[in-house]
Amino acid sequence: MGTDIHTVQFSTADYQRFSQRLEANLQRLEALLGVPGFGEGPASLGAELELYVVDGAGRPAHLNEELQAAAGDEQLTLELNRYNLEYNLSPVAVADSPFLSLEEEICRKLGTLRQLAAQRAAQVVPIGILPTLQRDDFGPACMTPKRRFAALVEQLIARRGRRFTININGQHPLQLDMDDITLEGANTSFQVHYRVAPERFADVFNAIQAVTPLALAVAGNSPTLFGHSLWQETRIPLFKQSIDTRLPDRYAWKEPARVNFGQGWVRRDALELFAEAVRLYQPLLPVCAEEADDPASQELRELQLHQSTVWLWNRAVYDAAAGGHLRIEMRTLPAGPTAADMVANAAFLIGMAEGLQPGLQRWLPALPFSIAEHNFYRAAQEGLAARLVWPRPQQTVCEEQSAASLVADMLPVARRGLDAIGIAGTESDRYLGIIERRLATGQTGARWQLAHLGQPESRTRPDLTQLSVMLEAYRLRSETNEPVAEWPQ
């Protein structure tokens, strides 16, 4: 989905041709899903890890192209802003200790990248939002010079027609206007890909949607922006608002936000989600692939490109590799604090979903989709302190409960889910133990950062020096790979 494009200027004819291709891609995907055996194969797990590059003072360092060239690693790609990079980690079969393999690869890749950064008096930090960001770290001069990024920025600005408005509440509410979308690059994530068979897709996707708020509540690592203490996961409102092209008009119809939680539970299969993306959202990058002229092509390049411009928090992915298959991309988890923490978040999320999935058809009617969406934003805002609405066992009604108590209740469900997909007990013990310890101490990455800054006790916003000191302490502990629940203040 990160492939570059060859042009940044588009005509009406380009949009018409691209829309036609999208419809043809949808028809081709529907035909593929009807082929016996399509998408079957071993379940697998992969991930994308977004990172910050900073200088010795903890300020953004415009070195992503230089580091990518020095690394010579095709898994390392450029991000929107010149101080961000992304590792596309290797997919691992679920049968092959996938979570341990992911953690080991993250540690290995980060170790190499840190050495390269150190040679340039810089460091690499996995964190949801860099605390030391300033307003002048955004804008055209900070953007990575790739045609894809330039075209995307131009298209979103053209649709907006005026400044993008940021309005996030919190201890120190933040309101500002931006001329472009580069503030979106402040968000760095650990995006998890889970391959599932087509016949299981709807139930597994719905289960992931339902439990995402619980995983988010215990994973928060993005509590500040520009020194403002905001949400436990400020990435959630920031990403949505920083690229929201919709203008406020109470009387006009608007397409849904391009960053959102979804339109409802999946009723039948994955095709619904691809069709929604095509029918609800206008194309942003109408670039047609030449090989798509072959009606038998399974690449579906236009559909893949379009999907990459609709940023659902949980997203369906089609991949032509290995004869074609489907994945669920989970985009809510933040980068950091450590490799162990990130993989534990992923294991907990997938374990909960798989543990819930067998009884989902009986359980799901008790949780309306609008309530699941409500839970998602409350968990992002308040973390473990959030009050979430959840069905009581053996009852037909929902009740408001604390996120912390729900996470505790779901730990055995997650273990059952991991057992069901063949994860060894020792592997489950490691990662669910990290979540359990985080819950016992009440210390997430977000809470550690705020406590180190003297928040929320202090009503005064921290200055850049305080933020830099905190970030350096965070970075040093992150490099040890000791889970954040064990970090001293």
Sequence spans of domains, the chain: 12-484
Coil, strand or helix at 14: helix
- Ramachandran region, residue 323 (left: φ > 0; alpha: ψ -120 to 50; beta: rest): left
Least trusted range by pLDDT, from 74-78, 127-131, 251-255: 251-255
> What's the CA gap between 266 and 137, in Å, rounded?
40
Q: What's the pLDDT at 392?
A: 81
Report residue 221 as tokens: 């690592």
pLDDT tens digits for range 250-287: 556 667 888 999 999 999 999 999 999 999 999 999 99
Q: Which residues lie below 8 Å from residue 141, measured CB to CB, with a gap of 6+?
A: none
396: pLDDT confidence band, cut at 50, 70 and 90? low
Question: What pLDDT shows up at residue 250?
Answer: 59
CA 448 to CA 443: how far, in whole Å? 6
Q: What H or E segment, with its residue span, contains residue 224?
A: strand 224-225
pLDDT computed for residue 398 by the predictor = 86
Mean pLDDT is lowest, of 17-21, 265-269, 289-293, 452-456, for: 289-293
Return the number of other C-beta atoms located less than 10 Å from residue 44's C-beta.
20
> Buried (b) or exposed (e) across 336-361, using 16+ Cβ within 10 A?
bbbbbbbbbbbbbbbbbbbbbbeebe
Q: Does residue 8 register a pLDDT over 80?
A: no
Give the C-alpha separation, 198 to 349, whole Å. 20
Give the per-residue pLDDT at 4.
Answer: 62
Q: Please give the C-alpha separations between residue 45 and each of 79, 96, 462, in angstroms, as whole numbers.
A: 22, 10, 39
CA 382 – CA 378 distance, rounded (Å): 6
What's residue 290's pLDDT?
A: 73
Question: What per-residue confidence (pLDDT) applies to 1?
Answer: 42
252 versus 323: the higher-pLDDT residue is 323
> CA-CA distances (angstroms) from residue 297 to 259, 271, 304, 321?
29, 18, 13, 12
The architecture in CATH of the region 12-484 reads: 2-Layer Sandwich (3.30)
What CA–CA distances, in Å, run from 371 to 204, 209, 283? 18, 11, 30
| Distant-in-sequence, close-in-space partners of 49: CB < 8 Å, separation ≥ 6 | 86, 87, 89, 106, 109, 126, 190, 191, 335, 342
Question: Quick one: pLDDT at residue 178?
Answer: 84
What 3-state DSSP class applies to 217? helix
Q: Between 177 and 128, whose confidence is greater?
A: 128
Q: What is the pLDDT of residue 484?
A: 98
Q: What average pLDDT does the structure give for the chain? A: 93
pLDDT recorded at residue 123: 98
pLDDT in the model for residue 303:
95
Please classify residue 135 by burial: count the beta carbons closer than 10 Å to its beta carbon, then call 0-12 exposed, 13-18 middle and 19+ buried: exposed
The position carrying tokens 């729900």 is: 406
Least confident of 66-80, 147-161, 230-244, 320-334: 147-161
- Nearest-Å Rg of the Cα atoms of the chain is 22
Look at residue 34 and give its three-state secondary structure.
Answer: coil
